[in-house]
Amino acid sequence: MIENILPYLDKDDIIIDGGNSYFTDTIRREADLKKKGIRFLGMGVSGGEKGALEGPSLMPGGNREVYDELAPFLLKVAAQDPAPCVDFMGNGGAGHFVKMVHNGIEYADMQLIAEIYDIAKNAFAYSNKEIHELFTYFQSTDLNSYLIDITCNILATTEEDTEGLLINKIKDEAKGKGTGMWTIQESTRLASPVPAISAALDGRYISSNLELRQLFNTLFPENPVAGNTISRSESHALLESTLLTGKILAYAQGFYLLKQADMEYNFNFNFASIAKIWRNGCIIRSTMLDEMSRALENSSLISLVEDEFFLTRLKKNIPALRKVLCLGIESGIPVTALGTSLWYLEALRAKRLPANLIQAQRDFFGAHTYQRIDREGDFHTEWEKL
């Protein structure tokens, strides 16, 4: 497309790429166009159909002077909350990197909500009406968000020409457009785990693999039945606490990935500003982003979970997540994103992990050496001689 429009451009004209582009392509395109005298801005855009009509969240990055020239226009078209949901993200492909991570968090948030829906329906045996009431209740809590709001609407939607809810007639297959995969690729490159996002992506892959699903369904048709004696009022509180815990940890993983990328690629991110422009217009807009923006003003923060607001909620609600996960497992429900969220927390808080055995195994078969806790240096053992 760039090649197609270049003959019609004059020196110093500006091209804005507002699509979901991979950030390394944005860096390359900016450099190539600079040689031709054309300016380029890579800008993440989120908001879907409603954002297009009422104002999206905009994540521009690249050349600061180009952004400053476009800012009066971008400030007008962006969502308002009440300040415009747009700010300069940073150097190079910063804008598209931020949008990529936004979409990764979006994957995780959607999967977490879907797993809560699954648990309510198949472990707690909620009726359709009760599930709608549950998500309506969520809107009055810290979970208040765009995705919960549209879920409430979805769970109440019927069709004139068919009986029952529309949601029950939709195929259980979900696809994506690549940004989730890119997020996982970058998390691997930067050694910055995002297990909730990874689980969400795997969940979509599994849902679309109908041949493999049919095979496993035939081989393992029996579904365990858990002895659930939890009351409706208690289950509401448990599901709220579980979803809140998963959501906080998913955002924490996303922002930590941004932090690692900032050090690797010198984007010069303003993390508080990123949270601010996600407060309206975009798909992951949420009440909690106000607190996230406040927390991220603290530049010494290693992880979002350090902040008192989020730490207090995690410590309070982790027991609920454990309890719901046990019920989900006993009921044969694939609670992958919720489960990996707990695994992420448990692994990071452990005083000692079993990686010592992995070190020893690598040294045994490949002489990769290992480090010790009682002395400095790299060590190798001739294991088979012992």
Centre a 10 Å sphere on the Cβ of residue 146 and count the other Cβ atoms it contains.
Answer: 18
pTM for the full predicted model: 0.94
Q: Please name the amino acid found at residue 40.
A: F
**Domains 2-94 and 357-385 in one fold:** no
Q: Give bridge partners of residue 58 from the DSSP assignment.
A: 45, 86
Q: How confident is the model at residue 14 (pLDDT cuts 50, 70, 90)?
A: very high
Summarised one tens digit per residue, pLDDT across range 168-204 is 999 999 988 788 999 999 999 999 999 999 999 999 9
| Omega prior to 82 cis, within 30 of 0 | yes
- For residue 57, the cross-strand partners are 46
94-119 confidence digits (pLDDT tens): 999 999 999 999 999 999 999 999 99
Least confident of 49-53, 183-187, 350-354, 357-361: 49-53
Among 34, 50, 106, 259, the active-site one is 106
| Architecture in CATH for domain 357-385 | Up-down Bundle (1.20)
Domain boundaries, the chain: 2-94, 97-349, 357-385
Token code pair at residue 366? 């490949």
pLDDT at 296 over 80: yes
Identify the band that residue 33 occupies on the pLDDT scale cut at 50, 70 and 90: very high
- What's at 301, amino acid-wise? L
Q: Sign (positive/negative) of CA torsion 22, 255, 180, 78?
A: negative
Determine the average pLDDT of the residues in 339-350. Answer: 95
When the candidates are 3.40.50.150, 3.90.1150.10, 3.40.50.460, 3.40.50.720, the CATH number that belongs to 2-94 is 3.40.50.720
CATH superfamily for 97-349 is: N-(1-d-carboxylethyl)-l-norvaline Dehydrogenase; domain 2 (1.10.1040.10)
Answer yes or no: 106 catalytic.
yes
Cα angle vertex 184, ends 308, 342, to 5°?
Answer: 40
Q: Binning pLDDT at 50, 70 and 90, where does residue 386 land?
A: low
What residues does 302 pair with on adjacent strands?
A: none
Pairing of strands 39-46, 14-17: parallel
Token reading at 115: 């797993």
Q: Which of 34, 36, 49, 99 is catalytic?
A: 99
- Span 292-313, average pLDDT: 96
Q: Catalytic: 247?
A: no
DSSP string, 94-147: HHHHHHHHHHHHHHHHHHHHHHHHHHHHHTS---HHHHHHHHHHHTTSTT-BHH
The Cα angle at residue 193 between residues 188 and 195, in degrees rounded to 5: 115
